């Protein structure tokens, strides 16, 4: 496959086009080991991991990019994330039967809603809605960039339950804005990537794929970047998720048990909160005073 658990960027200087290729193996196995996912969900998780890895290379700041979807069908939710350090994580939840014969995209198209969220560590969160009208997840995401971001983009994603891989080609935003883009160049590169098969993307290393596709082009390849499965959950983030729930509900649970146990859905790490922790979460300013009542 394209180099496993690595991301590699490349650029066609003459054509003002950037590219990225990724292969995901160990981190994919880690994600799949968390549950016994039906096969189409495994495929979708692999494709989403590959997509997040590809898109993380266009983050201009420290933060994370996630793709999440909810549907009215058996697939209740699916989410994959990658941060600027190429830490990947993903999860899915489903209810009822999902047949091995279902296509990955058909799971999403049962009243599904998908969004790409970008969360900088500093600054505003951004969310874009992905229309689920394409024949594949790659086609839907590609259309998102073409339509919403006005950036000519070609995306190829592939996963088989063991390996996942992806390639993306995209016109550089600067050149798209200044209309300096050479359309013929883009069309030629776009057609070349369209000839790439799943077997090639999953079966060949980066160098072979890039040589096979672009041997007549001037392509500048950047050093590879390693990616890994890593959950960056923390007590703090877990706490801020609790604050979004109704306080009465949490108090009620705590009237029946001494601590509230929250486990991370991505990695199963457990965090405990007692009554005074909840007080601090909902009322960060008033810590000491209230707790020092005279009995």
Task: State the pairing for strand pair 126-130/75-83.
Answer: unpaired
Q: In the complex, what is the shortest distance from the CB of residue 45 to Zn ion, in angstroms, rounded to a whole number?
A: 16
Q: How far apart are CA 89 and CA 264, in angstroms?
A: 12
Size of the site for Zn ion (CB under 5 A): 6
Q: In whole angstroms, how far apart are CA 42 and each of 94, 102, 132, 164, 248?
A: 12, 12, 19, 10, 38
State the minimum distance, in angstroms, from the CB of residue 238 to Zn ion.
9
Q: Is the dihedral of CA 277, 283, 284, 287 positive or negative?
A: negative
Q: Which is nearer to Zn ion, 116 or 233 (CB)?
A: 233
Residues 37-56 that bind Zn ion (CB under 5 A): none
In this chain, which stretch among 155-163, 171-179, 200-208, 224-232 interacts with Zn ion, using CB under 5 A? 224-232
Q: How far apart, in whole angstroms, are the C-alpha atoms of residue 220 and residue 12? A: 6
CB of 95 to Zn ion, least distance (A): 23
Three-class secondary structure assignment of 106-123? HHHCCCCEEEEEEEECCC
By CB atoms closer than 10 A (0-12, 13-18, 19+), residue 248 is: exposed
Q: How far apart (Å, rounded) are the C-alpha atoms in residues 107 and 140?
A: 14
Per CB under 5 A, 88 contacts Zn ion: no
Among 264, 271, 273, 277, binds Zn ion (CB under 5 A): 264
31 lines the binding site for Zn ion (CB under 5 A): no
Using rule CB under 5 A, residue 266 touches Zn ion: yes
Q: What dihedral do alpha carbons 120, 126, 127, 128 form, nearest 10°?
A: -110
Contact between 233 and Zn ion per CB under 5 A: yes
The site map against Zn ion for 138-157 (x = CB under 5 A) is: --------------------
When asked if residue 267 is in the footprint of Zn ion (CB under 5 A), the reply is: yes
CA atoms within 13 A on the CB side of 19: 26
Judge whether 135 and 141 are in contact, CB under 8 Å. no
We find the least distance from the C-beta atom of residue 236 to Zn ion, in angstroms, to be: 12
Tell me: does residue 67 bind Zn ion (CB under 5 A). no
Stretch that binds Zn ion, among 162-170, 206-214, 227-235, 249-257 (CB under 5 A): 227-235
Q: What DSSP state is assigned to residue 181? A: -
Q: Does 269 bind Zn ion (CB under 5 A)?
A: yes
Q: Is position 59 an interface residue for Zn ion (rule: CB under 5 A)? A: no
Residue closer to Zn ion by CB (options 59, 267) is 267
Nearest to Zn ion of 91, 193 (CB atom): 91
Binding segment for Zn ion among 53-61, 95-103, 249-257, 267-275 (CB under 5 A)?
267-275
Count CB-CB contacts under 10 A for residue 160.
16
Q: Give the residue with the Cβ less far from Zn ion, 262 or 280.
A: 262
260 binds Zn ion (CB under 5 A): no
- Would you say 34 or 70 has its CB closer to Zn ion? 34
**Under the rule (CB under 5 A), what is the footprint of Zn ion?**
231, 233, 264, 266-267, 269
């Amino acid at each position: 496959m394209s180099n496993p658990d690595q991301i590699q960027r490349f650029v066609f200087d003459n054509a003002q086009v950037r590219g990225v290729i990724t292969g995901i193996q160990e981190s994919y196995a880690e994600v799949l080991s968390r549950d016994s996912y039906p096969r189409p969900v495994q495929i979708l998780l692999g494709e989403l991991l590959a997509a997040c890895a590809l898109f993380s290379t266009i983050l201009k700041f420290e933060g994370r990019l996630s793709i999440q979807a909810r549907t009215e069908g058996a697939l209740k939710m699916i989410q994959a994330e990658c941060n600027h350090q190429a830490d990947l994580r993903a999860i899915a939840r489903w209810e009822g039967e999902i047949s091995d014969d279902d296509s990955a995209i058909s799971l999403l198209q049962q009243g599904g809603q998908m969004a790409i969220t970008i969360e900088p560590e500093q600054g505003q969160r951004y969310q874009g809605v992905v229309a689920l009208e394409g024949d594949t997840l790659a086609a839907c995401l590609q259309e998102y960039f073409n339509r919403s971001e006005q950036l000519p983009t070609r995306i190829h994603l592939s996963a088989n339950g063991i390996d996942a891989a992806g390639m993306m080609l995209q016109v550089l935003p600067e050149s798209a804005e200044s209309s300096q883009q050479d359309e013929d160049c883009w069309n030629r590169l776009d057609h070349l990537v369209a000839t790439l098969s799943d077997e090639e993307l999953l079966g060949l290393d980066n160098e072979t794929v890039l040589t096979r596709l672009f041997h007549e082009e001037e392509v500048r390849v950047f050093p590879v970047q390693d990616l890994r499965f890593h959950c960056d959950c923390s007590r703090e983030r877990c706490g801020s998720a609790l604050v979004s729930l109704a306080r009465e509900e949490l108090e009620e649970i705590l009237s029946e048990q001494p601590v509230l146990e929250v486990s991370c859905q991505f990695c199963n790490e457990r965090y405990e909160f007692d009554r005074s922790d909840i007080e601090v979460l909902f009322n960060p300013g008033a810590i000491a005073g209230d707790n020092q009542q005279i009995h």
